């Protein structure tokens, strides 16, 4: 079973509906044991990095999430679910993340000569840098929906699956082994976004079959 982790933040129902529309069965859960028993984990989120980490800690979710990733279970992070994978964020002062992926989360500091607004909100294209399974059937330059003021800077550039330009180029998707995460919101990105969710479901099914 693919579980969507309910830790008190994020548009869980929108993500759940997106998966269901893509033909992928998911379940919203709010207990550490349900995370441990899951075949795969989806962690969406909208809001502040520090609040996210606090909620995960207070609900005893950090240990089962980290254990699941270390065991190779597929993970899909969306927005905050991407950012908390990294070592730390500078949002409202330094705050430690899960440190699954080395790197930092930083605020957009755009060149003064442009008129772009923060947060970065709306549709933007992604340039593919690799052949992540989540990008199967998606064209290079496809558009996705973004809402964020911070972005990730991985120490290992090879985990960057896509980049997006918003005054500066930034990592908009990462992929490392069983870990997938997007800065954009696939659940808000119409048919192209639903293809991302379907591709994750297909990856989970293949992973499950390989273990059986």
* Residue positions annotated with a catalytic role: 79, 185, 187
Calculate the alpha carbon distances from 190 to 22, 59, 113, 176, 194 in Å.
10, 32, 32, 25, 6
Whether the CB-CB separation of 100 and 72 falls below 8 Å is answered with no
d(CA 135, CA 139): 8
Whether the CB-CB separation of 31 and 204 falls below 8 Å is answered with no
Angle formed at CA 26 by CA 48 and CA 45, multiple of 5 degrees = 5
CA atoms within 13 A on the CB side of 33: 0
Whether the CB-CB separation of 125 and 162 falls below 8 Å is answered with no
Give the DSSP letter of residue 144.
E
Kindly report whether the peptide bond that precedes residue 119 is cis, defined as omega within 30 degrees of 0. Answer: yes
Whether the CB-CB separation of 26 and 19 falls below 8 Å is answered with yes
């Amino acid at each position: 079973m693919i579980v969507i982790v309910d830790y008190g933040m994020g548009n869980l129902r929108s993500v759940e509906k997106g998966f269901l529309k893509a033909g992928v069965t998911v379940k919203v859960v709010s207990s550490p044991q349900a995370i441990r028993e899951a075949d795969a984990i989806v962690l969406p989120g909208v809001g502040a990095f520090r609040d996210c980490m606090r909620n995960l800690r207070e609900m005893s979710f950090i240990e089962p999430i980290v254990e699941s990733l270390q065991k190779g279970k597929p993970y899909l992070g969306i927005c905050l679910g991407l950012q908390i994978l990294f070592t730390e964020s500078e949002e409202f002062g330094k705050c430690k993340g899960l440190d699954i992926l080395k790197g930092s989360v930083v605020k957009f500091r755009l060149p003064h000569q442009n008129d772009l607004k923060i947060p970065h909100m709306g549709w933007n294209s992604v340039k593919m840098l690799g052949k992540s399974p989540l990008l199967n059937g998606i064209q290079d330059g496809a558009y996705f929906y973004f809402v964020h003021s911070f972005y990730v800077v991985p120490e290992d550039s090879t985990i960057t699956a896509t980049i997006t330009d918003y005054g500066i180029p930034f990592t908009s998707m990462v992929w490392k082994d069983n870990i997938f995460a997007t800065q954009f919101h696939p659940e808000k990105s119409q048919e192209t976004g639903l293809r991302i969710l379907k591709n994750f479901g297909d990856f989970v099914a293949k992973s499950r079959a390989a273990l059986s």
